Structure formats: C-alpha cells, structure tokens
Amino acid sequence: METKAQVLYDFTAEPGNNELSVREGETITITNQNIGGGWIEAKNSRGEVGLVPEDYIETPLITPDNYKSHIDQTDQHCFSEMATSLSTSNGNDPWAVFDSNASGGFSNNWAAQPEGTETGETSSSAWHSGGHGHPQAYQGPGAEDDEWDEEWDDVKTSGGYAESEAGEGGAINRGGAHGSSMKIALNKVLIAISFYMMRVRIYTVFQGGEAGPVWAYPDYQLDCVVADPKKGTKMYGLKSYIEYQVTPTTTNKPVNHRYKHFDWLYERLLDKYGSAIPIPCLPDKQVTGRFEEEFIKMRMERLQGWMTRMCRHPVVSSSEVFQLFLSYKDEKDWKMGKRKAEKDETVEVMIFSTIEPEGLPDLDLIEVEQKCEQFNRFTRAMDDGVKDLLTIGNEHWKRCTGPLPKEYQRIGKAFQNLSSVFNSSGYEGEATLTDALTAAGKTYEDIAQMVAEQPKKDLHFLMETNNEYKGLLGCFPDTIGVHKAAIEKVKEADKLVATGKITTSEKITMSKRASTMSYALQAEMNHFHSNRIYDYNRVMQQYLEQQGKFYEMIAEKLRHAHSQFTTM
Amino acid sequence: METKAQVLYDFTAEPGNNELSVREGETITITNQNIGGGWIEAKNSRGEVGLVPEDYIETPLITPDNYKSHIDQTDQHCFSEMATSLSTSNGNDPWAVFDSNASGGFSNNWAAQPEGTETGETSSSAWHSGGHGHPQAYQGPGAEDDEWDEEWDDVKTSGGYAESEAGEGGAINRGGAHGSSMKIALNKVLIAISFYMMRVRIYTVFQGGEAGPVWAYPDYQLDCVVADPKKGTKMYGLKSYIEYQVTPTTTNKPVNHRYKHFDWLYERLLDKYGSAIPIPCLPDKQVTGRFEEEFIKMRMERLQGWMTRMCRHPVVSSSEVFQLFLSYKDEKDWKMGKRKAEKDETVEVMIFSTIEPEGLPDLDLIEVEQKCEQFNRFTRAMDDGVKDLLTIGNEHWKRCTGPLPKEYQRIGKAFQNLSSVFNSSGYEGEATLTDALTAAGKTYEDIAQMVAEQPKKDLHFLMETNNEYKGLLGCFPDTIGVHKAAIEKVKEADKLVATGKITTSEKITMSKRASTMSYALQAEMNHFHSNRIYDYNRVMQQYLEQQGKFYEMIAEKLRHAHSQFTTM
C-alpha cells in the first residue's frame, strides 16, 4: 500500500548513499515503510526513488512513545495548578535564570500555566527528542530498531579547536533541549517534594570530614577502557557504522557499542539522574578531525573521557543501566535490559526519593538556600574561567599551528638561502660557514614542525579537559534549578497551609525533602570538587611536562646547531 | 649692518631652542651673522627674532668651498667630451645599472654630456652635500666652524626594527647621493686610466694562496672601543651634543668625537677610497630608540660596528686621515690634519694609482670582465638574501614583542583566574591545586616577559649584522660600476687608437691599469669574504647560543612549575 506524506524539513541526500533530497512542504509517496534504521523509501513527484529520514516526513504512525506521551500529558494536568513555566531558562544562556533578581522571577512565574501543556511538550518524548527543535537526522533513543547510523553522516570537514567552536552550536542545541526540558523537571520537583512518598533508599550521603556531605563511595573504583574502533556495515553495505570496544576493569570482558548505544545510555542517565547529578553531554556529533581516522580517534578519546567520568561517579556507576551497558551478554539480555531501563519510573526528581542522608540533621531553609547559592556562584564563575581558557587556548592553538611555524620555516629558509648564496662565492674555506648555516636553517625548519605538532601533545589535553568541564558545568544550571524550584516551593509552604492546599505535616515533609536534596547537592559538589582537583592537577602536570620537554628539545636542537659553527 | 635675505626652505623652530620658524620665499632680516655653528640670527616681518639654519637662507656669503667648486667646475670642462651621465645609476635601485643589458647602456651613454656640468653639480662640494637635494638641517663637513648639532634634532620617536625600516629612507637618500656622485667618479675613471700617471704606490695586492689576490695585512690588527657617550652643551646651553670616547687598541689613549666628526671621516674615506673599497654609510641619523638613552646607545653601538669594520680594513686603517681621527692631540693638530685631508688629491679613482699588484701578471680584458661580473652577481645575490632575512627578522621581532607575549600573558592570567575561582570553592585541600595553578599562571607571565625581551638579546645582533651588511652591499654597485666603466673604456681603446684619440702605448697602459683595478677588486672581495665568514660565524653562534639559553630557561621554569603539582 502506498501512502502520501508531506515533508517537514529540507533534507539533502548524501551522494552514493541511495538517499533522496526533499524540500519542506513537498508531498512524497512512501514506497517502503519497512526499511528500518530510521529510514523510509519514498518517491518524489519526478518519480525519483530513495531513502529519506523517517523524522523528516509527517506520517500518521503511532508508536509506543507517542502513546506514552499522551498518557503523561493527561497525568500532568493533575498538577498543572502548581506548575511553572520558568520560561527564562529556555534561552541560549542557561545561567540567565540565576541572575541576581532571578529568585523573584521564580516566584512570579511559579503559579503560571506551564507553556506547551496543550501541545504535549511536557511529555517525556519531548524531553527525549529535545523538544520542538529541528529533529537531527537521527532517531531518538526510544526507537528500538532504528539502525540508521549518524556517525558517518555527521562527519564534517574541520580541524583543530577553531572548528570545535563551530561544533559548539551542537552543544548549545543540546543545552537548549535541557532548557526546555526544565519545564517538566520543575513540575516533577513539585510532585516529588509535595506528594510522593519516598520509596527505595539506595544512595547514601554521609558526613565526610570537613568537606561536608559526601556520597558513599565503593571500595573498588570502577574504570573502563574504550578502544579498538571497528567499522561495520549493514543494510547490504548501504550504511556503515563504527563499534567501539568497551572493557570494564571489573570483568575485563570487552563489549562492543556503537555511538548510538552510548547516546541511549546518556539519555537514560540524564533522565534518571539529571535532577541530582550533572550528566555531561556525550561528545558532540560534529567533533573535530579532518579525516575519518582522526574523527574516530577523537570521538573514541572523548567517549573514553565520558565513560571514565561516569565510572568514577559512585551513584551512576553502580546503577543497573550503567552495569547493563558494561556487561553485554547477548542480544536478548541487552534488549530486555533496555526495555526495563526505559520503563524505570525512578527518574527525574524521583531520584531524590532514593537518597538517604545517613545520620545527618535536617537543614533549615536558609542553610539550604545558602548552599545552593554558593554552588551556583562557584559553577558559574568556573564556567566563565573555563570558557576564557578555552578561548585563549583556541587562539594559541591557531597561532602555534599557523603563523608561528610558518615564521620559523621562513627563518630556516632565509638561513639556507643565505648559505647557498655564500656557497657561490668561490671563496676557499667557505664551507666552514655554509655547512653550519645550512644546518642552522634546517634546525629552524625542524623547530617549525615541532611547534606545529606540539599543541596535539599538550594543549590538546588541556583543551579536552576544559571542554569536558565546560560540558559538565553546562549541566549545573538545570541541576541547581531543580533545587531552586524546591526552595521556592518550601518558601510558599506557609501560604499553602493557610489556604488549605497542604497540611502542616505535609509542610514539614516538604522541608525535610528539601534538606535531603541539599545534602545530595552538597555530596555532588564535593564529588565534583574532588574530581576537579584531581583532573586539573593531572592535566596541568601533563601540560607543563610536555611543554618543558618541548622547550628542552628545542634548546637541545639549537645547542647542536650552535656547535657546528667554528670560532676562528 | 643688517642684511635682507630670502628663505630657501621651510624651517620649523624647535620649542625652547631660541629658533625662528620661517617659510620658503619669506624675506627675513639677518640681525647677527656671527652666531656660528651653522646658525644666523634673523628677524621676520612680524619683528620676531630667532636662530635660523644658515643653509636655509639665500645669502651672498662667499666660502672657500664655493670658491673650490667654481674651480673644479672649470677644470671639469677639459674632460667633458669623455664624460658620461650614466643616469641609469641615479634611481632608487642601485643595482639597476647591472641588469643583463646594462653594459650596452654603458656604451651608449659613454660619450654623452655629464648631467649638471653647467650647474656645478660635479663639484666636490656637490658630492659632499649629496647633490641638489634639500639640505638637511646640518652643515656639510667642509664648513669648519659649524657647531650646530644634528644629534638631538634628528631623534625620532621610534622603536624596534619596524621603524628602522622607516629609517631606511635615510639610507636610500644616502644611496642616492652615491648614485648621483657616480657621474663624477666615472669621469674620473677615464682620467685615471687614460691620462694620469700613477704616482705613489702604497697599497700592495699579492697572491694569497687559493683565494687569489689579497691586500697586504698589517701584523697588528688595529681595533678601537667606542664608549662613554657624554652630553655637552655650547652656545650658552642653546645647543647640546653627544661626544663619544674612541680608544684605539694601539695607543690606548681615548679621543672624543661627536657624530659630525665621524661623518666628516666617512666623507673623507668615501671620497678617497670609494672607487676601490666599499665604505659603508655611517649609522643613519634616524636610528631606532624611543628614548634619548636608547638612541644614544644604539648610535654608539653602530658607530662601534662601523669603526671596527674600518679598523679591520688594511688600506683604510693605515690611511693618514683614519689615523688622524684616532689620534687627536690638540685642536691645532686636528684642524691642520683636517685641512690636509680635505686637500688630498689622491681621491676617487686616483686611488688606483697607489695600488701595486706585486709580482702578479697583467690580466687580460676577458678575465677582468669575468671577475667583475662574478663579484657583481655575488654581491647582488647576497644583497637579496640579507634583505630577505631582515624582512623576516623584522616580522619575527614584531611577533616576539607583540602578539606572542600577549598570548602567554593571557594564558598566565587564565590559569591564575581559574585558580582564584577554585579558591572560592571552600573545599578542603583546594590549596593543593590552587597554589600550583597560580604558580603556573605566574610562570606563563614570566615567559611572556622573557619572550618579549629575548629579541634584544639575540635577534638584535643578527639584525644589526645584516643591517651592516646591507649597508656595505649597497656600496658595491658604485665600486663595481667604476670597474665596469673602466672595462668599457678599454674595449673602446682600439677605436680610439684608430681615430687617433690615443696612442698604442696609451692603450697598453689603459689595459694594464684595468688589470690593476681588477686585482684591487679581487683583493677587496677576498677581504669582504673573509670578514663575512668571520662575522656570520660569530653572529650565528651568538644567536643560536642565546636562543638555546632562552629555550632552556623556559624549560627550566616549566619544570619548576610542573614540580609544584601533586600526584594524588
């Protein structure tokens, strides 16, 4: 059966991939809906047939996700009188909501209708797909059987950190998705602290010396190695993908995962822990690297960084979904685990119901608010500092790979050129100068090359670490926003009691839960600080060591060049 | 007695110097002609009185120089039928005359009337003052009692080699003076090789091994130290000047000389030896240096370089005028020596009459021509190479003192800024990171300063040496031009014999003299090569040593910064 469908967005076919270019508003005929991998086969009005991303066309397909979204939407109406739109957090600057007068803004918007409640924007599927945004040409993690691989199609010609900045657009988009998803998160906060009962208590926070509350850390530090990327093909060679080998230090048994699996894990972790723990974005699809190999290497390196960070987190690393990812047995087990994870209800702010501040006294609202403000100030200031360093590092990278080596090369050429002029003098004993002068010229050409290659050996890691932290810090506005919303709610408690909306006992429970959330935030901040100190110590050591070696090597080269000149 | 006079050129008074601004064409009244130092006191139509440079106004003063110029001019007419204008050598490119088809140009212009013979341009005073050019605000060396000091009035705000390039304008001007003076030199060539008898034979050229003809070098290498610049004033403090102490290694008795004395010496040496020996220009009046001290230091350094080069030359250093300069006894002796030097008739091409190729066979014309072409090619290629290196060095200087240290400083600031953000975390043990991070930041600030200061320690000398060679190489076109002219003349000899202009015996003498000139050129080239090999070996050693130390120092600083981070 042939179905007509309208195209929602422009799509440009990649040559040689059996794809079909389509324009927004165009009507196409679906010729095969069972291609899979997020693709359908379609025919345009000119009779051309090819693959088009499913997401780009409007079809009346009913998926389990759509259904779930519908249910959520209905459910949501029960709490709509307490919802907040918090539209200020939807802009490009995720920090805007925390400007000095932001808490006033919170209160003012507190009782407003949630934006987009009517359109299903608050559904979890909206959360997953990043809201209303232009759907990227890949399927959301909810689509079980999509096999279209985004790894190849998103490789952009780029190089160095200059283009990484361009890639930042992608990161901002993800950040934007965070922003709009805040609407749901904040609605759920109200649910959590107002009505839900805490159920499973798993994650313990306890007083950890001067630092204050800390997570309970496992005795054995989980780690894993991401390595050995392998190219595979599917759909009779139409699509190719890369599988990375992930080997946990616990089992030492490697499992293979594609980028889309990492992405699925990321979405699950974000959904489950995002309110309490900043879950950094995966490396962006448009990462740097002019060539396929470079691109794959860079992505692998960043996936390694991401996995290491997740492994190090006591809450995340011990979670069922993370363990599932690390312990792939067979396809059946994996699919069962995926389904279970996707049905997990202890997600978003519900995560706080699983946290127990062991033997810690309840905090009063002022303390909770102070801690929250302190962390907000810190993460914001660090975000500025990190971005500043990235900007400077980026400029330095450009100089070190561009004009500086070019200049050393020109100096080298000038020496060699002068040497060859001298050689033409016909003067006896000329070689005592020209051999050394040529060698000095070559030395400067060598130095040019060393200078150009050095950033990959040191600046790269400094940039990567700071890029990682930029991503991590970008998650804090959401995490802290959840806390801010809870604080505002508790502030309203007296009024709610007075108007008979809640009981005094419920008010006390709300306050207690805000205290728990604060302990969780403190534990998370301490985790962040401890990791940060480790990471920056490590990366600075690495940077300075490599820089020192680099200058020492240049000095050595120059000493050698010097020794070839003769004093007469 | 008051005299009216017309102003020839605009002159702008320097504030506080008791000077009077005047405009070209303005009529002023001379109120005091006996001021001295190249100045007169004058009153303008508004009744303002002040000092005006003597040169800037048209007065009917008769000086011995004017008289001499008149005589020379008359004398010159005797040889005007053999004169050449050689106007091609008057352009900005002193090498233009040696383009592939230049020798044809020589022949064509050979019999032309000398330009400006009617205007006295060929007089020796025109030579001294640089021809018709706008007289700079200082007196020519012929004016015995001029005491106006150009040292202060020409200090321009400038710094680094960028502005040294601007100063090159001055060097070109001087080059231009050389160019126009070629007219006379080439006239004199004809005189020398056609009619003059060789008289005193002093300078010996002999076969020096494989290198070919060399000058007879003295057993003891003369050298001198230029040091201890002292400010003096005259005209009741109206004018100030700087005296440099010149101490020859032979006598070890210091003599004091002002820049104008060096300039007088330069003009004398150029006049006497310029046809056979390239006499490099003095350091330009507009040398680099933002401050007085820097300017004086730079000039001193360059005067030292110039004096060293003159001392090293066996012909120049043994000359009476050079010895006079180094051995000032008293004012009377000095003035007598000056007068004698200015009356020296063995100048310009006459210098070849004092050269004896000892025990060397006469060269035939083809050999003479080949040698001349070879040296021309070499000096021209070296000139290109040196200018190329100077251009690159100049750009490198700018980068090293501009954007590069700024970038290191920004890196340093970014580290320190991040460190101070970290310090605000309130996390225990933060200091283990922040102290080291602050130190690393300071290290990069130190490196910034080191980078900015380094060019003065190494690139400076490389630039100075190449600048010196640029000046020296700029003299070769004139020197080689004299040889080319002689060769062309000898080529014409047969025709001259046929038309009865010269006898066969005179033709043989001409050929013999061309051979002598060629030996002198070969000796000079060998002197040049030997010095060049020494100078470039020395400067490259110095450059590479300093560069090596610089990078080693940075490496050491980085090692120290590295050691402050702790591995946890």
CA distances from B546 to A446, B384, B455, B551 (A): 18, 26, 10, 9
Q: Select the residue of B384, B554, B568 nearest A537 (Cβ to Cβ).
A: B568
pLDDT of residue A568: 54
Does the structural domain A64-364 have CATH classification 3.40.50.1820?
no
pLDDT of residue B8: 82
A218 exposed, middle or buried (CB, 10 Å; 0-12, 13-18, 19+)? exposed
Q: Select the residue of B418, B526, B530 nearest A385 (Cβ to Cβ).
A: B418
Which residues from B are below 8 Å from A544, CB to CB?
Answer: 440, 558-559, 561-562, 565
Residue B330: which residues within 8 A CB-CB, separation 6 or more? none
CATH class of B3-58: mainly beta
Q: Which residues of A430-448 are buried (b: 16+ CB within 10 A; e: fewer)?
A: beebbebbbbbbbbbbbbb
HSE-CB at A495 with a 13 A cutoff on CA atoms is 7
> Is B436 close to A540, i.e. CB distance below 8 A?
yes
Sign of the CA dihedral with A429 first, then A430, A432, and A435 last: negative
Which ipTM value was assigned to this complex? 0.71
> Is B414 close to A529, i.e. CB distance below 8 A?
no
Which among A377, A393, A324 is positioned nearest to A525, based on CA atoms? A377
Closest chain A CA to residue B437: A540
- Whether A473 contacts A379, CB under 8 Å: yes
The SS3 call for residue A412 is: helix
Q: Which residues of B140-159 are buried (b: 16+ CB within 10 A; e: fewer)?
A: bbbbeebbbbbbebbbeebe
Which residues from A are below 8 Å from B426, CB to CB?
Answer: 374
Q: What pairing do the DSSP bridges indicate for beta strands A49-53 and A39-43?
A: antiparallel
Question: How far apart (Å, rounded) are the C-alpha atoms in residues B502 and B235?
Answer: 58
**DSSP 8-state symbol, B332:** H
> Is B422 close to A568, i.e. CB distance below 8 A?
no
Residue A210 C-alpha, separation from nearest chain B C-alpha, in angstroms: 7
- Whether B461 contacts B168, CB under 8 Å: no
Which residues from B are below 8 Å from A211, CB to CB?
Answer: 427-428
A237 exposed, middle or buried (CB, 10 Å; 0-12, 13-18, 19+)? exposed
Question: How far apart (Å, rounded) are the C-alpha atoms in residues A325 and A255?
Answer: 8
Q: Select the residue of B427, B436, B551 nearest A558 (Cβ to Cβ).
A: B551
CB pairs under 8 A between A and B: 183
> Is A381 close to B424, i.e. CB distance below 8 A?
yes
**DSSP 8-state symbol, B354:** G
Residue A563: which residues within 8 A CB-CB, separation 6 or more? none
Q: Select the residue of B385, B404, B568 nearest A421 (Cβ to Cβ).
A: B385
Residue B565 C-alpha, separation from nearest chain A C-alpha, in angstroms: 6
The residues that bridge with A213 in the sheet, in sequence order, are A207
Axis-axis angle for helices A459-473, A160-194 (nearest 10) = 30
Residue B310 C-alpha, separation from nearest chain A C-alpha, in angstroms: 20
Which among A136, A81, A87, A141 is positioned nearest to A111, based on CA atoms? A81
Which residues from B are below 8 Å from A559, CB to CB?
Answer: 544, 548
Is residue B28 within a helix (H) or strand (E), and if so which, with residue range? strand B27-36
CA angle A347, A350, A352 (to 5 degrees): 120
Chunked mean pLDDT (size 10), chain B, 568 residues = 78 73 88 74 88 73 35 30 30 38 32 33 31 29 36 38 37 37 46 38 60 82 91 75 90 90 93 90 64 81 94 90 88 88 81 80 86 93 96 95 94 96 89 93 97 95 95 91 89 89 86 88 91 94 96 97 84
pLDDT of residue A543: 97
> Is A537 close to B422, i.e. CB distance below 8 A?
no
> Is A555 close to B551, i.e. CB distance below 8 A?
yes
A260 a known binding residue? Answer: yes
Which residues from A are below 8 Å from B389, CB to CB?
Answer: 414-415, 418
- Whether A388 contacts B362, CB under 8 Å: no
Q: Select the residue of A437, A558, A568 nearest B547 (Cβ to Cβ).
A: A558
> Is B537 close to A407, i.e. CB distance below 8 A?
no
pLDDT of residue B354: 80
A523 exposed, middle or buried (CB, 10 Å; 0-12, 13-18, 19+)? buried
pLDDT of residue A284: 72
Residue A278: what residue type? P
> Is A567 close to B541, i.e. CB distance below 8 A?
yes
Residue A158: which residues within 8 A CB-CB, separation 6 or more? A164, A166, A167, A286, A288, A289, A290
**What's the CA dihedral at A273, A275, A280, A285 to 10 degrees?**
90
Q: Select the residue of B381, B433, B555 nearest A536 (Cβ to Cβ).
A: B433
> Is B427 close to A526, i.e. CB distance below 8 A?
yes
Residue B552 C-alpha, separation from nearest chain A C-alpha, in angstroms: 5
> Is A424 close to B211, i.e. CB distance below 8 A?
no
Closest chain B CA to residue A543: B562
Residue B284 C-alpha, separation from nearest chain A C-alpha, in angstroms: 25
Which residues from A are below 8 Å from B385, CB to CB?
Answer: 414, 417-418, 421
The residues that bridge with A124 in the sheet, in sequence order, are none
- Summarised one tens digit per residue, pLDDT across range A319-333 is 889 999 998 778 888
Question: How far apart (Å, rounded) are the C-alpha atoms in residues B252 and B358?
Answer: 34
Domain boundaries, chain B: 3-58, 64-358
* Secondary structure (DSSP) of B45-112: TT--EEEEEGGGEE-----HHHHHHHHHHHHHGGGGGG----GGGGSS-TTGGGSTTHHHHHHHHHTS
Q: Which residues of A110-134 are buried (b: 16+ CB within 10 A; e: fewer)?
A: beeebbbbeeebbbbbbbbbbbeee
> Is B421 close to A537, i.e. CB distance below 8 A?
no
Helices (H), A285-353: 292-312, 314-317, 320-326, 331-343
Q: Select the residue of B399, B427, B558 nearest A529 (Cβ to Cβ).
A: B427
Question: How far apart (Å, rounded) are the C-alpha atoms in residues A346 and B412?
Answer: 46
Sheet holding A27-36, edge to edge: A49-53, A39-43, A27-36, A3-7, A57-58
Q: Select the residue of A374, A396, A533 nearest B407 (Cβ to Cβ).
A: A396
Which residues from B are below 8 Å from A533, CB to CB?
Answer: 422, 427, 429-430, 432-433, 568
Which residues from A are below 8 Å from B544, CB to CB?
Answer: 440, 558-559, 561-562, 565
Residue A529 C-alpha, separation from nearest chain B C-alpha, in angstroms: 7
A299 a known binding residue? Answer: yes
- Whether B389 contacts B468, CB under 8 Å: no
* Tokens coding A96: 């805007």
> Is B395 close to A414, i.e. CB distance below 8 A?
no
> Is A415 close to B554, i.e. CB distance below 8 A?
no
* Tokens coding A46: 């000119």
Question: How far apart (Å, rounded) are the C-alpha atoms in residues B209 and A317?
Answer: 84
Q: Select the residue of B403, B541, B568 nearest A565 (Cβ to Cβ).
A: B541
Residue A405: which residues within 8 A CB-CB, separation 6 or more? A448, A449, A451, A452
CA angle B546, B547, B549 (to 5 degrees): 65
Q: Select the residue of B418, B547, B559 nearest A548 (Cβ to Cβ).
A: B559
Question: How far apart (Å, rounded) are the C-alpha atoms in residues A525 and A214?
Answer: 9
Question: How far apart (Å, rounded) are the C-alpha atoms in residues A232 and A240?
Answer: 6
CATH class of B64-358: alpha beta
Residue B229 C-alpha, separation from nearest chain A C-alpha, in angstroms: 31
Which residues from B are below 8 Å from A405, CB to CB?
Answer: none
Residue A88: which residues within 8 A CB-CB, separation 6 or more? A96, A97, A102, A105, A109
The SS3 call for residue B140 is: coil
Residue B285: what residue type? K
Residue A191 C-alpha, separation from nearest chain B C-alpha, in angstroms: 32
**DSSP 8-state symbol, A217:** P
> Is B407 close to A392, i.e. CB distance below 8 A?
yes
Residue A92: which residues within 8 A CB-CB, separation 6 or more? A172, A175, A176
Which positions of chain A have pLDDT values less than 50?
Answer: 60-187, 189-202, 287-290
Which residues from A are below 8 Å from B377, CB to CB?
Answer: 424
Closest chain B CA to residue A545: B562
Which among A476, A563, A127, A411 is positioned nearest to A276, based on CA atoms? A476
| Contacts of range A40-45, beta carbons closer than 8 Å, 24 or more positions apart | A42/A5, A44/A20
The SS3 call for residue B234 is: strand
